[in-house]
């Protein structure tokens, strides 16, 4: 969605709507506030409705709305306004439309809590589930979940404060619109699910800080959501929101963590000029509140339909000779098994590189829980699903409506599957089609970050969780319609994502290496894939001139703190032509660095990491149509200071888990880098290593130390695609 005004001077805790402009009063009458509709996720009479597929995901969120409170209290600011601003910003970071805070009025507690009956049903299923995968400590996750579902609900009336998350709705899907077969009459369900994703994450975060917290949804709650929305100044006493009327959903976190409260709205509070034109830098204005007003759901938010499509990806893939490798070759697995030495092993063990950051760890419980729902049996095929065009349109529209940022459909060739799974068992490719998805890591928070500070890991986790939820709902829906479908998430996947992103037209290979760059989201993305046997029409790869751009631009390589990105040419690796980075250097830095948690500085500093402003359109247009302008554009990007840190956008706390288990302000100096504009990085000065298939470990769970000398030799032995093709032609390779 193109914006006219930048939000660069708007703090994140203010959010995308100009709530701060509304007139306020000291108190509000709550007696006649209508309660939200109680949302049921059972719609057996309409098997085409995606509501049915949301059922288990909503139940999983409702089942995990409370949990253990960390006994070690975190060291956080005492200032109550700072606390409220921080938590609101976290909510906006999770894409809530509006966030308010309040002290919990006595009359907001329900006499009879709202219970989601699907939680019991899910608990029964989990009791019998025998996951075939050993990935990601699945047994531990299951044991924890079974335990928490058995435990009687604890009282939470001692909670004193509430965070209220309001989610807006896109326009109603039209039954006549191509692609909308599955998403009719499901807006409450969508906002309920998305709101609870945020509430469960924030409740988990607060408990990690050592304070009690519970999430409440429109399907499972101890509180009157509507009254809390009025008390926290989001809605009028009749339940109407000043910007949205009654088109919204709510979720709440109640907690013992004290914070400042927002004041209720004045009865006559209404949006003014700022809302009409978007003057204060807020993303949403009357004109721009819903990008789908002018777009079809199946087309998504960005003009993907304008991109040049080509028959093959713009980088060569030697398809018959791609080397399949075991999952054990994944660098995080190698770190865990000690292949990269003790320091990396310690940092990787128990997910320590995630756990050490409170904000990142907040996403982890839901991410683990959703692994249990990734796969399943298919029902009988529904008669309406024989047409591949119709299926493709329905899949795209459903995913864009749910909130995925980009979707591409392609074949799922055998060569994209790993050779062996996490348990060392051979993988026989099973699905012929792939649905690839991209989740934006969020421009606004990236603006405030160095890319390798204390929010970096949370940026990945947020996007991974979003995919696990939305991709999971889609896969479940396909199974209900009669087709096998499997989610391939960061926690448990059996296919390589980058080639599928290329085949489905979601981007091109970039200098960063395995990162596929999308013309509208840049490299600021995380991917996820659902494979299926549902017949669907494929998209084609795209060509937006990135190969020329990356050849002329070296910025990510220059700014990479570990020196992992090549300043040299593209070379052949395992059958793919790519700018091969030194994944060992990158992974070591990401998991073991002390001055932050993880890294995404290459994404942060890339000139394609854009806000989405109208004024940026000429850059994109020129970069895509005049390849010769790439060098000048890359220089201009530096001159404009793009990629520097914008302190207005820093909302997170630099909390690190220390030896006694508590989260405290990190004792290490926090990464806060400026651009290294003067650095002349030269390929000939770099020493890079790669570990192609012949150097990959066996598929089993035993240590297999990396031989860096062999890796360096392997880098030197890599050849360009042209030479590779010539050798193949002569039968030499």
- Of 193 and 553, which has the nearer Cβ to ligand SF4? 553
Nearest-approach distance from CB 570 to ligand SF4, in angstroms = 11
Neighbouring C-beta atoms of residue 552, cutoff 10 Å:
15
Nearest-approach distance from CB 598 to ligand SF4, in angstroms = 8
Residue 562 makes contact with ligand SF4 by CB under 6 A: yes
Nearest-approach distance from CB 103 to ligand SF4, in angstroms = 42
Distance CA 665, CA 229 (A): 32
Residue 353 makes contact with ligand SF4 by CB under 6 A: no
Among 296, 555, 580, 649, indicate the residue that binds ligand SF4 (CB under 6 A). Answer: 555
Residue 434 makes contact with ligand SF4 by CB under 6 A: no
Residue 596 makes contact with ligand SF4 by CB under 6 A: no
Nearest-approach distance from CB 601 to ligand SF4, in angstroms = 4
Residue 581 makes contact with ligand SF4 by CB under 6 A: yes
Distance CA 262, CA 81 (A): 10
Q: Which of residues 607-626 bind ligand SF4 (CB under 6 A)?
A: 607-608
Residue 550 makes contact with ligand SF4 by CB under 6 A: yes
Which part of the chain contacts ligand SF4 (CB under 6 A), choosing from 238-246, 258-266, 326-334, 505-513? 505-513
Residue 516 makes contact with ligand SF4 by CB under 6 A: no
DSSP-based three-state secondary structure for 638:
helix
CA torsion angle for 227, 231, 236, 240 (degrees, to 10)?
A: -50
Nearest-approach distance from CB 275 to ligand SF4, in angstroms = 36
- Of 343 and 386, which has the nearer Cβ to ligand SF4? 343
Residue 510 makes contact with ligand SF4 by CB under 6 A: yes
Residue 689 makes contact with ligand SF4 by CB under 6 A: no
Q: 150 to each of 63, 124, 207, 217, how far by Cα in Å? A: 10, 11, 20, 20
Count of helices and strands (H, E) across the chain: 24, 16
Give kind and range of the element (H or E) at residue 573.
strand 571-573
332's CB contacts (< 8 A; 6+ apart) are 348, 587, 591
Which part of the chain contacts ligand SF4 (CB under 6 A), choosing from 119-127, 368-376, 492-500, 606-614? 606-614
Q: Which of residues 520-539 bind ligand SF4 (CB under 6 A)?
A: 523
Among 606, 624, 633, 706, indicate the residue that binds ligand SF4 (CB under 6 A). Answer: 606
What are 544's two structure tokens?
């937006």
Residue 491 makes contact with ligand SF4 by CB under 6 A: no
Contact between residue 388 and residue 667 where contact means Cβ atoms under 8 Å apart: no
Among 402, 602, 688, 718, indicate the residue that binds ligand SF4 (CB under 6 A). Answer: 602
Among 589, 652, 663, 715, indicate the residue that binds ligand SF4 (CB under 6 A). Answer: 589
Which part of the chain contacts ligand SF4 (CB under 6 A), choosing from 109-117, 188-196, 251-259, 547-555? 547-555
Q: Is 185 left (phi over 0), alpha (psi -120 to 50) or beta?
A: left
Which part of the chain contacts ligand SF4 (CB under 6 A), choosing from 81-89, 302-310, 548-556, 694-702? 548-556
Distance CA 462, CA 604 (A): 16
Binding mask 76-105 for ligand SF4 (x = CB under 6 A): ------------------------------
Contacts of 514-519 with C-beta under 8 Å, sequence gap 24+, read 514/578, 514/581, 514/583, 515/602, 515/603, 517/546, 517/606, 517/608, 518/406, 518/438, 519/307, 519/544, 519/546, 519/608, 519/620, 519/624
- Of 483 and 579, which has the nearer Cβ to ligand SF4? 579
Distance CA 599, CA 669 (A): 15
What are 232's two structure tokens?
């926290």
26's CB contacts (< 8 A; 6+ apart) are 263, 264
Residue 600 makes contact with ligand SF4 by CB under 6 A: yes
CA 208 to chain centre: 21
**Token pair 């907040």 in the structure block, residue:** 362
- Of 220 and 634, which has the nearer Cβ to ligand SF4? 634
- Of 206 and 603, which has the nearer Cβ to ligand SF4? 603
Nearest-approach distance from CB 459 to ligand SF4, in angstroms = 11
Distance CA 373, CA 249 (A): 25
- Of 201 and 671, which has the nearer Cβ to ligand SF4? 671
- Of 119 and 721, which has the nearer Cβ to ligand SF4? 721
Q: 617-625 and 630-639 helices cross at what angle (nearest 10)? A: 150
> Among the residues of 521-672, which ranges form H helices?
546-552, 555-559, 583-592, 601-605, 617-625, 630-639
Nearest-approach distance from CB 44 to ligand SF4, in angstroms = 46
Among 601, 649, 673, 724, indicate the residue that binds ligand SF4 (CB under 6 A). Answer: 601
What are 378's two structure tokens?
């298919």
Residue 549 makes contact with ligand SF4 by CB under 6 A: yes
**Mode of pairing for the β-strands spanning 485-488 and 525-532:** antiparallel
- Of 239 and 607, which has the nearer Cβ to ligand SF4? 607
Distance CA 312, CA 589 (A): 34
- Of 262 and 452, which has the nearer Cβ to ligand SF4? 452
For ligand SF4, how many residues bind (rule: CB under 6 A)? 28
Tally the C-alpha atoms within 13 A of residue 685's C-alpha that lie toward its C-beta: 7
Residue 511 makes contact with ligand SF4 by CB under 6 A: yes
What are 90's two structure tokens?
């976290």
Among 564, 592, 629, 662, indicate the residue that binds ligand SF4 (CB under 6 A). Answer: 564
Nearest-approach distance from CB 637 to ligand SF4, in angstroms = 8
Residue 556 makes contact with ligand SF4 by CB under 6 A: yes
What are 568's two structure tokens?
């040299």
Residues of this chain that bind ligand SF4 (CB under 6 A):
452, 510-512, 517, 523, 549-550, 553-556, 560-562, 564-565, 581, 586, 589-590, 599-602, 606-608
């Amino acid at each position: 969605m193109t914006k006219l005004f930048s939000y660069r001077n708007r703090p994140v805790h203010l959010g995308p709507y100009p709530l701060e402009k509304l007139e306020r009063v000291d108190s509000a009458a709550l007696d006649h506030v209508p309660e939200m509709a109680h949302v049921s996720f059972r719609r057996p009479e309409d098997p085409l409705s995606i509501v049915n597929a949301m059922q288990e995901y909503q139940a999983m969120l409702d089942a995990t709305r409370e949990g253990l409170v960390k006994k070690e209290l975190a060291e956080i600011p005492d200032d109550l306004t700072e606390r409220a601003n921080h938590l609101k910003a976290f909510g906006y970071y999770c894409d809530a439309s509006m966030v308010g805070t309040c002290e919990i009025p006595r009359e907001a507690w329900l006499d009879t809590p709202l219970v989601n009956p699907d939680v019991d049903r899910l608990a029964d299923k989990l009791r019998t589930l025998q996951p075939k995968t050993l990935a990601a400590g699945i047994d531990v996750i299951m044991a924890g979940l079974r335990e928490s579902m058995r435990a009687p609900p604890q009282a939470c009336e001692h909670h004193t404060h509430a965070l209220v998350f309001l989610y807006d709705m896109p326009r109603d899907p039209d039954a006549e619109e191509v692609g909308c077969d599955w998403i009719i009459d499901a807006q409450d369900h969508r906002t309920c699910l998305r709101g609870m994703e945020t509430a469960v994450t924030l409740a988990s975060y607060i408990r990690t800080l050592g304070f009690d917290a519970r999430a409440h949804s429109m399907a499972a709650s101890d509180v009157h959501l509507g009254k809390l929305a009025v008390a926290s100044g989001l809605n009028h006493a009749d339940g109407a929101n000043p910007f949205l009327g009654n088109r919204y959903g709510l979720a709440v976190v109640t907690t013992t963590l004290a914070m400042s409260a927002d004041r209720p709205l004045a009865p006559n509070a209404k949006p003014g000029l700022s809302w009409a034109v978007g003057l204060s830098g807020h993303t949403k204005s009357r004109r721009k509140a819903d990008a789908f007003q002018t777009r079809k759901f199946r087309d998504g938010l960005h003009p993907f339909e304008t991109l040049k499509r080509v028959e093959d990806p713009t980088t060569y893939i030697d398809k018959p000779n791609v080397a399949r490798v075991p999952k054990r070759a994944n660098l995080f697995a190698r770190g865990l098994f000690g292949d990269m030495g003790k320091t990396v092993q310690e940092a990787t063990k128990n997910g320590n590189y995630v756990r050490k950051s409170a904000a990142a760890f907040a996403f982890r419980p839901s991410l683990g829980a959703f692994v249990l729902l990734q796969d399943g049996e298919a029902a009988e095929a529904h008669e309406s699903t024989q047409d591949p065009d119709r299926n493709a349109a329905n899949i795209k529209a459903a995913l864009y409506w749910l909130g995925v940022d980009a979707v591409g459909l392609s074949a799922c060739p055998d060569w994209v599957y790993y050779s062996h799974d996490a348990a060392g068992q051979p993988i026989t490719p099973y699905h012929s089609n792939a649905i690839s998805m991209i989740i934006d890591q969020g421009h606004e928070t990236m603006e405030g970050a160095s890319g390798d500070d204390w929010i970096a890991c949370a940026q990945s986790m947020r996007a991974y969780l979003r995919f696990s939820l939305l991709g999971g709902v889609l896969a479940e829906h396909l199974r209900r319609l009669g087709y096998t479908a499997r989610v391939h998430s960061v926690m448990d996947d059996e296919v390589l994502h980058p080639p599928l992103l290329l085949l489905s037209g979601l981007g091109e290979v970039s200098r960063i290496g395995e990162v596929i760059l999308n013309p509208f989201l840049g490299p600021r993305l995380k991917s996820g894939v659902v494979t299926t046997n549902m017949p669907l029409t494929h998209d084609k790869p795209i060509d937006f001139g990135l190969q020329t751009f990356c050849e002329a631009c070296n910025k990510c390589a220059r700014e990479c703190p570990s020196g992992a990105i090549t300043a040299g040419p593209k070379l052949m690796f395992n059958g793919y032509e790519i700018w091969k980075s030194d994944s060992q250097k990158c992974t070591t830095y990401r998991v073991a660095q002390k001055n932050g948690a993880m890294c995404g500085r290459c994404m942060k500093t890339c000139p394609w990491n854009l806000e989405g402003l109208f004024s940026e359109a000429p850059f994109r247009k020129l970069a895509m149509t005049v390849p010769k302008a790439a060098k000048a554009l890359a220089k201009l990007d530096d001159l404009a200071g793009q990629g520097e840190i914008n302190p207005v956008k820093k909302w997170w706390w630099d909390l690190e888990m220390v030896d006694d288990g508590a989260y405290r302000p990190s004792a290490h100096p926090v990464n806060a880098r400026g651009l290294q504009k003067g650095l002349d990085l030269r390929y000939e000065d770099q020493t890079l290593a790669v570990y192609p298939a012949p150097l990959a470990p066996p598929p089993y769970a035993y240590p297999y130390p990396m031989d860096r000398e062999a890796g360096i030799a392997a880098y030197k032995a890599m050849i360009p695609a042209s030479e590779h093709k010539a050798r193949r032609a002569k039968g030499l390779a």
